[in-house]
Structure 1
């Protein structure tokens, strides 16, 4: 396997792991699951919610996709498109996290 492929898989997995960690930590602290409705709940706090949702969105998208498929019987095509979107988002946020880690002064 090419080194670039391994780096992309690592970034994808790191993005999903970070999203799960942030969503779980938010749920422990706020006693409610992370949702995109945070932006509507408190307009003044929307700026503080953007970084949380930026890195936690892949988890929220996948959770909503699985729930929609199981509970509402949504079509497979919609689940596949949402999964591809969550994977792309996770890859991009994982790439940002990897570049931040690389630039830290260890």
Structure 2
């Protein structure tokens, strides 16, 4: 398998993980996951950072899609968000795979 194929696989693992975590948060809390920086407790603060790190690509792409469709932002911002989410998914997918391999 080529290097590009491996990177795309790792990126897909990261984005699927972000989607699963984001969907789970929405299932449990009843509202979509978001980048919130105003928690009330220390545990909530640490949990919010961990949630943002793992579910960030899904949150970013949901906001970018909403901005393009509902708020009529230019497609440039969607493409830029897509590239950022792709790199973020690559990094988080690598972390997820390392954790799964070492368990």
Question: What is the aligned length?
Answer: 102
Q: Distance in 2 between matches of 1:43 and 1:81?
A: 34
Q: Please, which runs of 5 or more residues in structure 1 have no aligned partner?
A: none
How far apart are 1:43 and its partner, in Å? 5.3
In structure 2, the residue matched to 1:49 is 48
Q: CA RMSD in A?
A: 1.3
Q: Please, which runs of 5 or more residues in structure 2 have no aligned partner?
A: none
TM-score for both structures, normalised by structure 1? 0.89
How far apart are 1:78 and its partner, in Å? 1.1
Q: 1:3-23 deviations in whole A, cap 9, x for unaligned?
A: x22221111001110001000
Give 3-state SS (helix, strand or coil) of 1:79's partner: helix
TM-score for both structures, normalised by structure 2? 0.91
Q: Distance in 2 between matches of 1:90 and 1:42?
A: 28
